[in-house]
Amino acid sequence: MIVETHGHLADAQFDLDRDDVLARARLSGVTPFIEIGEEEPQWAKARALSESHPDVYWTAGMHPYYANAVDGALLDRLAQSIEHPRCVAVGEIGLDYHRDDSPRDVQRKALADLLAAAVRARKPVVLHCRESHPDRTEAQQDLLDILRSVKVPADAQKPAGVAHCFQGTVPMAQSLCALGYMIGVDAPLTYPKAGALREMVATVPLEHLVLETDSPYLPPQSHRGKRNEPAHLPAIARALADIKGVPFDTVTSVTSANARRLFRI
């Protein structure tokens, strides 16, 4: 079975057929699932989904779009929410310099505060990092600086995690791996113009990769223009197997073991 490490099945796009979507994924060999609670209004939905399906886990975080809302009260509510036994990570958190919905200094402080919350809870993190332009690297460098500066108590460890849908540079991927982070691989790997992404992924050891769909977003090339769903995860695994020159089963077994170890599922 292939672990789906990043989806948004609580999204309204799945309201009419959510159970069918999960059933199709299981028939395709995809399970378990990690549902991403990317902002506070989504936490209860993600939690409820995990409580109604024994193979669904969830995360709670604040996407950088909503960094303006990260304050002491929010962090207290987050700390309570992530105590839930099926909550496996803090995320999605990070930096987004493409939209700049929140000022960059606000995003950076929010990320530092959310990472500190993950350290206190001993949870891994799900990271988002998007540049203002494909040729820029400011968000990546700021993310790396913040990750390196995380203060950790003597009885704790720095948070591990995954750089979700990472499409950054080879040096950044190498730096993240050196810090113990995984690289999340999504369907853009299948897009004809994604040569640079394929070259970057080729440099990352399989032991540092996990698979994700980001459903309902980013469908594989075979379904461009349609809603994405977890049943498409094998297409990503096949593309990765081609890049690595290894069997499909090797990709699925290693990436799923990585995911289970990271999220402790």
Q: Supply the pLDDT for residue 151.
A: 86
pLDDT-flagged residues of the chain (< 70): none
Q: Supply the pLDDT for residue 136.
A: 92
Task: Look at domain 2-263 and name its CATH class.
Answer: alpha beta
Q: Supply the pLDDT for residue 156.
A: 74
Dump pLDDT digits (tens) for 165-178: 999 999 999 999 99
Q: Supply the pLDDT for residue 99.
A: 85
Query: What pTM was estimated for this model as a whole?
Result: 0.96
Between CA 130 and CA 141 the distance in angstroms is 11
Percent of the chain as helix, strand, coil, to the nearest 5: 50, 20, 35
Q: Supply the pLDDT for residue 154.
A: 77
**Distant-in-sequence, close-in-space partners of 104: CB < 8 Å, separation ≥ 6:** 95, 97, 142
Q: Supply the pLDDT for residue 36.
A: 98
Q: Where are the domains of the chain?
A: 2-263
For β-strands 2-7 and 30-37, DSSP reports them as parallel
Dump pLDDT digits (tens) for 226-246: 999 999 999 999 999 999 999
Between CA 184 and CA 201 the distance in angstroms is 10
